[in-house]
A and B are shown apart, each in its own frame.
Chain A
Amino acid sequence: MSARDELAARQAALVAALVADGPIPPGLDAGRVRIQSDALLRKRRRSVMRAAPELAVALGESFAAAFAEHAASGPKSGNSADDAAAFARFLLRSAHGRNREVRRAARSVIRKHSAIRKHSVIRRLPGG
């Protein structure tokens, strides 16, 4: 195994533990991994809230819980607008989609996403 392969495996194990419910890599503090994982989920949620505020408005107080359900179904793929569209599709499939406001907001997000995805600059929450 080359040094790059070894580092890749180690880093992949940590990221999988953080965003894809993978096992805690040997030697890492499980409590800290959980804290980091929660922090990444909050950042992901804030990014989606910025990319598609209408979803947050429609969901109101259930936004965080609904987003946690969406995040549990898989890690973020693409940018925050892609994630917002994936969240909107998740909402339409879930019980949240029974709410008319949520349905309307989700459809609007999906429609806008397919229209603008080629041309827009998607802002990333910086951090660091």
Chain B
Amino acid sequence: MTGGPRGPGPPPVAGVGIGWRHEIDLTVPRLRLPGGPGVDFVEIVAENVHPDHVPATLAGLHASGVPVIPHGVSLSLGGADPLSDARLSRLAALAQRFSSPLVSEHVAFCRAGGYESGHLLPIPRTRSALEILVENVRTAQAALPVPLAVENIAALVAWPEDEMTEAQFLSELVERTGVLLLLDVANLHTARVNFGTDPVAALAALPLSQVAYVHVAGGTLADGVWHDTHAHPVSPQILEVLAAFAELARPLGPLSGALPGVLPGVLPGVLLERDDAYPSDAALAAELAAIRTVVSGADRVRP
């Protein structure tokens, strides 16, 4: 599927979500109970869920109407090697199993020269690397039954040959391929700490109408750099970047009455990623509630 711009339609997911993980499979439904913060959608790590052996807790969530977004972490879309058919098939099969509105991956590479890095690494932001990324994204779009969204990563290293800012690079990728964006606001914070990039300037330069959904996660400062651990609480600076996104993106929502059932200014969904050192249900509930408050704009001082 070669989607055009997302345009004035509703975002594919809205509200607040959480990354579904085996370790918190009983927590997620509890967060949906009355009095809880609510979970409007979930994301699964594509490598960790087999479409033919879906855990009962996840199948139950899906059956109760919760949208499930497959999220790949090892496709290596920005790599020089051809994309793996097996990895693309896994994403496609999961999208079919869950009737997912979209699937997501990263603007990154994770293998080269016969070595696996085991984690997402930045690609050089050069014209020639962009050409290869565009080809790879088109290949992935053609192989997937639903739209693809790609995410900005948290980098610790930068290439000396970078010719564009991350926002310029992503904007051109979107323009050339129609790919959707999965905007990670924690990773914009990471870029601020690690490379001095202003997150608000980055937001202003990105095609925000193309954002399908948003990631929020906690990290920690060590060795003078920000580590996007997904194992720490979400810090206030990251919620501030989320608030800046909400402020800029709200006016981009669909016009009132243009689409039945869609409220004016509906923002894309915002999803909390927690992958390790899982806190109590109460702590996760508080983080989701804080995200919902920021997204709803309730924390803004109204004139």
Contact = CB atoms under 8 A, between A and B. Distances in A.
Nearest to A26: B160
Interface in B76-93: 79-81
Which one of A29, A39, A40 has the highest number of Cβ atoms from chain B below 10 Å of its Cβ?
Answer: A39
B109 A11 contact: yes
Contacts of B161: 10, 27
Interface in B92-146: 106, 108-109, 111-121, 123-124, 128-129, 131-132
A100 interface: no
Contacts of B276: 46, 125
A28 B159 contact: yes
A44 B117 CA distance: 9
Contacts of A39: 119, 156, 227
A21 to B, nearest CB: 11
A60 interface: no
A128 B118 contact: no
A30 to B, nearest CB: 10
Given A7-B129, A14-B157, A40-B118, A124 B73 contact: yes
Interface stretch (B28-36, B42-50, B232-240): B42-50
Nearest to A13: B113
Contact of A15 (B22, B74, B121, B131): B121
A5 interface: yes
Contact of A11 (B74, B106, B112, B151): B112
A128 B47 contact: no
Nearest to A123: B48
B223 A125 contact: no
A45 to B, nearest CB: 10
A62 interface: no
A72 B35 CA distance: 51
Given A11-B80, A35-B225, A121-B48, A127 B119 contact: yes
- Point out which of A11, A27, A123 has the most chain B C-beta atoms below 10 A from its C-beta: A11
B28 to A, nearest CB: 15
A121 B131 CA distance: 34
Interface string A112-128: 00000000010111111
Contact of A3 (B123, B131, B275): B131
Interface size bucket, A side?
35 or more
Nearest to A11: B112
Given A121-B48, A127-B73, A29 B158 contact: yes
B19 interface: yes
A95 interface: no
Contact of B228 (A29, A124, A127): A127
Given A3-B131, A126-B19, A128-B151, A8 B81 contact: yes
Interface string A21-38: 000001111001101100
Contact of A75 (B80, B116, B230, B275): B116
B80 A4 contact: yes
Contacts of A3: 128-129, 131-132
A36 to B, nearest CB: 4
A14 B156 contact: no
A107 interface: no
Interface of A: 3-16, 18-20, 26-29, 32-33, 35-36, 39-40, 43-44, 46-47, 75-77, 121, 123-128
Given A26-B160, A40-B117, 8 more contacts: A14-B121, A27-B161, A39-B227, A40-B118, A43-B118, A43-B119, A126-B275, A127-B119
16 contacts: A3-B129, A6-B128, A8-B80, A8-B113, A11-B113, A15-B116, A15-B121, A16-B115, A28-B158, A43-B118, A76-B118, A121-B50, A123-B45, A125-B275, A125-B276, A126-B19
Give the 9 A-B residue pairs with the shortest CB-CB distance, closest first: A12-B113, A27-B160, A8-B80, A11-B112, A3-B128, A7-B80, A12-B112, A36-B156, A15-B115
